[in-house]
Structure 1
């Protein structure tokens, strides 16, 4: 079962990437402040074009190892992206992630889009457990996870050299039954 795109929330539209999204994708992928806490560096236009093709290649994750990447739109403007990774079919595990362009920070778009991705993961992909992780210094990102009702399960201190310094990572998770009792579950989300 796949979603009936676009996925709608109270204020947002989540839809698959298209070739027309190249400039929007590059607008956040090219920013050092956006990739500060992500693997990799700011992308060139050519690198964003290659990444766009990858994002467009999976309209719905049908097997483990596939990632669903959706554009987050507000009033017809692409403000970011949300991802749902299918980690394990056997164990029914997934992972969510999100990026919102800094020009659109502070409006709750990441929380709203991430809630939609949880709904897709639990509702349509039939996952049992979904995780999310971030750099421990990324207060905004782990704040989203906590607003979603996710539980911090790990704090990895100095777990890897990351961009020239020791990195720390928070790992959060939520189970399907926990999500179903969350105030944000299916809050105006149509999948």
Structure 2
């Protein structure tokens, strides 16, 4: 089980559960953009659709069993703005495996926020949940995301050509992983 004490603090950020009413404008600032949604499952949404989708999917702030997903907002400590969101998937209790993912407002790209946040997610996965292996999957065209994953020390393990029919086209996925002893 993983029940973090929120907010989770990093040098410049707070990771916390998303409050759709409080965070709606900041969520809309990036999740309404085609360039942000290009490589992630959500499609661009207007404010009403975002509010509805966040209200419909109850995002747990605690992981109790495999198969659950922790979704957190990333708040910039100085401005109080939500600048992105992250997910930690708990795939298997027996295999002690999980996966991380993230999306950020392009206004905040290039400042190390994604790396700082993903490092905190790996800490939750390995130190908090006790996982043995954490993966990340990146569309090969998303070079910025791959650089973040590589800066964390995750190793490229596989490239799957035309692996997934995604948003009307075949996409090639690059798989990265880190083991618990590599994290330590």
Query: What is the TM-score with the length of structure 2 in the denominator?
Result: 0.92
Consecutive unaligned residues of structure 2, counting only runs of 5 or more, are none
Q: Which residue of 2 aligns with 1:179?
A: 183
Consecutive unaligned residues of structure 1, counting only runs of 5 or more, are 181-191
Distance in 1, matches of 2:165 and 2:124, equals 33
Is 2:163 the partner of 1:162? no
Greater relative contact order (Cα < 8 A, sep 6+) = 1
CA contact (8 A) 1:61 1:85 kept: no
Stretches of 4+ moved more than 6 A in 1? none
Q: Which residue of 2 aligns with 1:4?
A: 5
Q: Output the aligned Cα RMSD.
A: 1.5
CA deviation map 1:31-50 (0-9, x unaligned): 10101112242123233113
CA contact (8 A) 2:59 2:71 kept: no
Distance in 2, matches of 1:48 and 1:86, equals 24
Distance in 1, matches of 2:7 and 2:85, equals 13
Is 2:105 the partner of 1:101? yes
Q: Which residue of 2 aligns with 1:189?
A: none
CA deviation map 1:110-136 (0-9, x unaligned): 010000010011111111110011100
CA contact (8 A) 2:59 2:69 kept: no
